[in-house]
Amino acid sequence: MPIKFHEQTKTFHICNKYLSYIICVMENGQMENLYYGKAICDKEDFSYLHEEVMRSLMSVCVPEPGILSMQYTKQEYPVYGTGDFRSPAMTVRQENGSEIVDFKYVSHETYDGKKKLKGLPATYTENESEAQSLDILLHDSVMDTDLILTYTIYEEYPVITRSVRILQKGDQKIRLENMMSASVEFPDMDFEMLQLSGAWSRERYVKTRKLEMGIQAIQSLSGTASSAEQNPFIALKRPHTTEDMGEVYGFSFVYSSNFLAQVEVTPYEMTRVMMGINPQGFSWELKKGEEFQTPEVVMVYSDQGLNGMSQVYHRLYRNHLMRGKWKNRVRPILLNNWEATYFNFTEEKILDIAKKAKEVGVELFVLDDGWFGTRNDDYQGLGDWFVNKNKLPDGISGLSRKIEAMGLKFGLWVELEMVNKDSDCYRAHPDWLIGAPGRFESHSRHQHVLDFSKPEVVDYIYDSISKILDESAISYIKWDMNRYMSEPFSQGMPAAEQGKTMHKYILGVYDLYTRLTEKYPDILFESCSSGGARFDPGMLYFAPQTWTSDDTDAAEREKIQYGTSFVYPIVSMGSHISAVPNHQMHRYTPLATRANVAYFGTFGYELDLNLLSEEELKEVREQVAFMKKYRELIQIEGDFYRILSPFEGNETAWMVVSRDKKHAVAGYYERLNKVNAAWMRLRFKGLDEKQLYTVKWEENSIKAHGNELMYAGIPIDRDYCNKTNGDFYSILYTIEAE
């Protein structure tokens, strides 16, 4: 049993072959965190890990002569009001104004498998033997409130998931002002915090900082999204931890709206990590009999460096987060018309682009923005989900069938959560807009947020989009969302309910996703938010791929995809080849390099192939053929290894190796060319030491053992680089066991 309970010492040991997580009930009934890290042997008593000493200014929370103090104890779910002066995991305001709470252990239950979280995306088990779960019931007797801390440990992964549920049994109304999903404490501060930060077109850049005493945090207050600015993920790594060795603790939040990931270090060098819904803008009243469920935090422990941590997230999210028909399936090679036409297209033009796509071997044609209402630019039409017959006289239904007749699948762009004021939808329902009475309503890309916290709004959108899906032959949906929530207020909701707006909004989005994915199980959904502002596990639960960024420049994509790979599987990263000069960077990169980057993702095109030369089209045909041959390895079978970081130098390298170590594909990329450059060797990773491989690149080929390739490496052919492309040169290697 991976979850053990030692009755005498009231100690829980949650463990598998990789990790141990040890918590116990303290003298005052609250829960203490004794250890989290590499697996250690089980025993009855770990009480020596509880450290206690009398200190000045210390608040003691047990009768004398006891000296237990919450101030210096590593707690499991810390609260304010029993002598701890750090940030609490929860804040509950009671009718008398008090925020003092005291949740004491009552009982616990262990069970095989994992329960669903009501209304929320979360990791899951396919059969109960894959994981074991623990619910610890705590109770506050003054409020008569239950608090349930839930843990799941997966047998084959160094993973623990956490969430919390609170149930008000007492007569008084209580108000949750803060309710974190998990809190973890470490006895030291010898860590660096790693985060994925950015902005539109430069999402998920890797940033690290040494922990210091005090609070360091990242957050989203964007309302509609986990955000482009901060991804809902942090890792604590030891200073010496590299990509390939050393300890790292990952924390990933399965949620797509406001979050807080906070690390607090005390002057006693203890570190507290908390993750949950951002308390700012959140307030949730509970009446007798009502409960609140937090989203889930997925904690990964790795002693195999950052690559080790990422590979665990990739496998877990591919096998236990993504669902449905597209789970573990290679993705169709698509062509999207956005950068080819923007809003300016006719049916004839679309069919022309699709025809060329079919000729080169593309499998899916995606019609992006501009097909509905009066949507001829981004000032109008959002909310009116009926086809623009001026552009598409036979409707989506006619177009989709014409595309299918060519032998392509058809996909469609939608932005269901938004409305332009210049739309029939807004004119009929002005009160469906998120916005505060008497206040200026900020606009963003000329659009406004529909109030998805209201079930009738979600119903309306569900009906409008179902009609189109029912009438047409649609295999793929790109679900976009292009603005944050600036004045979070739900019109017509009572004052006491306003603090629920942003969480209820995202629950409304999840509800619509649930209904659409259940009704149309064959459709492949790709989520998108002005590029990659909603690249989070919450979305991956519904949509198994995400548009990684609006920036399609190959050299920029190296950084974005490299950062994204810290948590998210290669198969989830939407990656397309676009035209040069690139529309975001205005930069020229070789067609080969654009492909060599896009292969490490879902792969597709975002340009009008009719504008390419015959020579380029030949190259495109070869790219499509290459991806068809290797996508099973890259997207499904392989483990991804980061080799050289674009954040540290001029070169980027990464590779994918099959689980049996017989096949691999590696990409090497240079930004600016160097004159009279130093020698450079690329060392591969993850291969079988003794295995003889054939490595091929360009017109070259060598035979070498795994240990040669990993430790001696292979020299980069600089001469070739100079002769070919100069800047933004890249090499793609295939590595096959003999």
Please give the Cα distance from 392 to 396 (Å, whole number): 7
Please give the Cα distance from 389 to 122 (Å, whole number): 41
C-beta of 339: minimal distance to ligand GLA in Å?
8
| SS3 state of residue 560 | helix
Residue placing its CB nearer to ligand GLA in the complex, 271 or 529 = 529
Site string for ligand GLA, 621-660 (x = CB under 6 A): ----------------------------------------
Residue placing its CB nearer to ligand GLA in the complex, 422 or 480 = 480
Catalytic machinery residues:
480, 550
Q: Are 236 and 186 in contact (CB under 8 A)?
A: yes
Tokens of 524: 């492949």
Tell me: does residue 550 bind ligand GLA (CB under 6 A). yes
Looking at 368, 553, 608, 639, which residue binds ligand GLA (CB under 6 A)?
A: 368
C-beta of 232: minimal distance to ligand GLA in Å?
19
Query: Around Cβ 103, how many Cβ atoms within 10 Å?
Result: 25
Which residues within the stretch 670-699 sit at the binding site for ligand GLA (CB under 6 A)? none
Q: Are 253 and 536 in contact (CB under 8 A)?
A: yes
Q: Are 138 and 117 in contact (CB under 8 A)?
A: no
Residue placing its CB nearer to ligand GLA in the complex, 523 or 528 = 528
Tell me: does residue 369 bind ligand GLA (CB under 6 A). yes
Tell me: does residue 547 bind ligand GLA (CB under 6 A). yes
Looking at 12, 249, 410, 413, which residue binds ligand GLA (CB under 6 A)?
A: 413
- Please count the residues of this chain forming the interface with ligand GLA, following the rule CB under 6 A: 11
Stretch of 88-96, 106-114, 388-396, 524-532 contacting ligand GLA, by CB under 6 A: 524-532
Residue placing its CB nearer to ligand GLA in the complex, 230 or 584 = 584
Which residues within the stretch 464-483 sit at the binding site for ligand GLA (CB under 6 A)? 480, 482
Tell me: does residue 417 bind ligand GLA (CB under 6 A). no
Please give the Cα distance from 13 to 232 (Å, whole number): 28
C-beta of 606: minimal distance to ligand GLA in Å?
8
C-beta of 535: minimal distance to ligand GLA in Å?
12
C-beta of 369: minimal distance to ligand GLA in Å?
3
| SS3 state of residue 208 | strand
Give percent helix, percent strand, percent coil of the chain, each to the nearest 5. 25, 30, 45
Residue placing its CB nearer to ligand GLA in the complex, 500 or 534 = 534
Query: Around Cβ 189, how many Cβ atoms within 10 Å?
Result: 18
Q: Are 601 and 574 in contact (CB under 8 A)?
A: yes
Helix axes 614-631, 591-598, angle to 10 degrees: 20
| SS3 state of residue 189 | coil
Residue placing its CB nearer to ligand GLA in the complex, 378 or 471 = 378
Stretch of 28-36, 526-534, 641-649, 708-716 contacting ligand GLA, by CB under 6 A: 526-534
Three-class secondary structure assignment of 37-104? EECCCCCCCCHHHCCCCCCCCCCCCCCCCCCCCHHHCCECCCECCCCCCCCCCEEEECCCCCCCCCCE
Q: Are 607 and 340 in contact (CB under 8 A)?
A: yes
CA neighbours within 13 Å on the CB side: how many for 513? 28
Kind and range of the H or E run holding 193: strand 192-197
Q: Which CA distances in Å does 117 have to 131, 474, 514?
A: 16, 30, 13
Q: Which residue has the tokens 């203490």?
A: 32
Which residues within the stretch 65-124 sit at the binding site for ligand GLA (CB under 6 A)? none
Tell me: does residue 552 bind ligand GLA (CB under 6 A). no
Residue placing its CB nearer to ligand GLA in the complex, 479 or 562 = 479
Tell me: does residue 558 bind ligand GLA (CB under 6 A). no
Residue placing its CB nearer to ligand GLA in the complex, 533 or 665 = 533
Stretch of 11-19, 69-77, 452-460, 523-531 contacting ligand GLA, by CB under 6 A: 523-531
Residue placing its CB nearer to ligand GLA in the complex, 173 or 446 = 446
* CB-nearest residue to ligand GLA: 369
For residue 383, the 8-state DSSP code is T
Looking at 251, 282, 338, 729, which residue binds ligand GLA (CB under 6 A)?
A: 338
CA-wise closest residue to 693 among 668, 665, 663: 663
Residue placing its CB nearer to ligand GLA in the complex, 140 or 203 = 203
Which residues within the stretch 295-334 sit at the binding site for ligand GLA (CB under 6 A)? none
Tell me: does residue 528 bind ligand GLA (CB under 6 A). yes
C-beta of 482: minimal distance to ligand GLA in Å?
5
CA-wise closest residue to 729 among 683, 654, 668: 668
Which residues within the stretch 147-186 sit at the binding site for ligand GLA (CB under 6 A)? none
Helix axes 614-631, 347-360, angle to 10 degrees: 70
C-beta of 445: minimal distance to ligand GLA in Å?
8
For residue 450, the 8-state DSSP code is B
Q: Is the dihedral of CA 471, 472, 478, 482 positive or negative?
A: negative
C-beta of 533: minimal distance to ligand GLA in Å?
9
Tokens of 219: 């957050």
Please give the Cα distance from 651 to 373 (Å, whole number): 46
Residue placing its CB nearer to ligand GLA in the complex, 223 or 590 = 223
Residue placing its CB nearer to ligand GLA in the complex, 205 or 342 = 342
C-beta of 342: minimal distance to ligand GLA in Å?
8
Q: Which residue has the tokens 């981004």?
A: 378
C-beta of 125: minimal distance to ligand GLA in Å?
34
C-beta of 529: minimal distance to ligand GLA in Å?
7
Kind and range of the H or E run holding 288: none
Stretch of 399-407, 528-536, 684-692, 720-728 contacting ligand GLA, by CB under 6 A: 528-536
Tell me: does residue 531 bind ligand GLA (CB under 6 A). yes
Task: Give the list of residues 6+ apart from residue 304 with CB closer than 8 angstroms, or none.
Answer: 244, 245
C-beta of 532: minimal distance to ligand GLA in Å?
8
Tokens of 114: 């994992």
CA-wise closest residue to 564 among 591, 582, 539: 539
Tell me: does residue 345 bind ligand GLA (CB under 6 A). no
DSSP assignment of 602-655: S-EEES-GGGS-HHHHHHHHHHHHHHHHHHIIIIIIEEEEEEE-TTTSSEEEEE
> Which residues in this chain contact ligand GLA in the complex, by CB under 6 A?
338, 368-369, 413, 480, 482, 528, 530-531, 547, 550
